[in-house]
Copies of this chain bind each other. A is one copy, B any other.
């Protein structure tokens, strides 16, 4: 008769109760092997993957970084517009300072001595006309260069376009020069100073390593084999490592990524914590889809002539923008993640026992493991126990060893 009992006659009794499932120990070659194999897999996962590979015993922190850059180099050009001209860093780095990137001019289309006045619209904008009626006063089309005055004037001997109020003379809408005007830029060098910090571990370091002194810094250039610690990079080398040709890229410009990676294991000496540099072209140079290639922008220099009239020099500058991206993670031994991962691993081992094996389906009705006298005696009793070889509810009995 089943009795309804209250097992907590007093809270005191309840406090001291401990519920545990009844455990059967089955001795079987096949099942035991499967069981140990699974446990070995779990332990190998914990030790191999969690501890060794993923360093689960470590606490981690993400890098905080500050970057400053400084380009050096001279370029020489000789054109009909400008004559013989040298370009130094104040001329070709625009703007002169940025937070995590720097731009180097490599090619340009220059329009000198522009003043606010009237001139015929450029023929590339499509504003052809035959008479004044074809032009609209005040029209400011985004493809245009100025505001239409409403008059139709001669652009050239054969062509008439609408007159505009604009910075005249207009820029000639042409392709950029090949070879690039500032092709000398490939020999420019950039000093990249990067300070990093892992705040959780109060760890600071610079990419100018302790053994680098001023005289070395005045002459070295980064080379993966001979000078891996020199923080001065030649622009051509960076572009070449990104599997690009500098002179080709310099015609229309582009965007380069300078990736500095600081993966540090702070359980090791701090001198092992060094940056790794990689270079990649960030803008997509798709040979098939070559619409709007490269990188360019327009800027101007403003002057006042003797009559206090403002003039400007318009420059459509093509160049390479280098984006410096710093990332990294540091790890250091900490008792908390160690215990958490060990605990999770033990829980995982515990869950293995909840899996009920179907491995011995073929072994019915006899098992091969020897039973001692005590077990034989219990065999009749064990017949009422649920065979452990089950997949969901389809089950077959097996030899059981209980005690």
Interface residues of A (CB under 8 A from B): 1-8, 13-29, 31-36, 64-66, 68, 70, 72-76, 84-86, 88-91, 93-101, 103, 116, 138, 140-147, 165-167, 184, 187-189, 191, 193, 195, 197, 204-206, 208, 210, 212-214, 217-218, 255, 257, 282-284, 286, 288-289, 291-292, 295-306, 308, 311-312, 314, 321, 323, 346-347, 350-351, 353-357, 364-365, 369, 374, 378-388, 390, 393-397, 401-403
Contact = CB atoms under 8 A, between A and B. Distances in A.
Contacts of A166: 74, 86, 88
Given A99-B100, A140-B74, A217-B291, A386 B25 contact: yes
10 contacts: A5-B395, A17-B26, A19-B24, A22-B386, A86-B116, A97-B103, A208-B291, A212-B291, A217-B292, A304-B305
Contacts of A286: 206
Which 7 pairs from chain A and chain B are nearest by CB? Answer: A16-B32, A66-B282, A21-B21, A96-B299, A90-B300, A2-B397, A350-B354
B381 A384 contact: yes
A379 B3 CA distance: 12
A7 B393 contact: yes
A370 B292 CA distance: 79
A248 B320 CA distance: 35
Q: What copy number does this chain have within its complex? A: 3
A48 to B, nearest CB: 14
Nearest to A208: B291
B402 A99 contact: no
Contact of A297 (B14, B70, B297, B312): B70
Contact of A15 (B32, B100, B378, B385): B32
A189 to B, nearest CB: 5
A39 to B, nearest CB: 10
Given A1-B380, A86-B116, 14 more contacts: A2-B365, A4-B396, A7-B25, A17-B401, A19-B23, A21-B353, A66-B255, A73-B142, A74-B141, A74-B142, A86-B147, A302-B303, A384-B403, A386-B403
A217 B292 CA distance: 9
Contact of A323 (B18, B31, B99, B305): B99
Contact of A86 (B21, B167, B197, B283): B167
Most-contacted residue by chain B among A66, A101, A308 (CB, 10 A): A66
Contacts of A311: 304
A283 B99 contact: no
A380 B382 CA distance: 15
A16 B2 contact: no
Given A68-B255, A210-B288, A395-B7, A16 B1 contact: no
Contact of A208 (B72, B89, B96, B292): B292
A22 B19 contact: no
A283 B383 contact: no
A31 B18 contact: yes
B26 A191 contact: no
Most-contacted residue by chain B among A65, A308, A379 (CB, 10 A): A308
A387 B17 CA distance: 15
Given A23-B386, A26-B20, A98-B98, A298 B3 contact: no
B206 A284 contact: yes
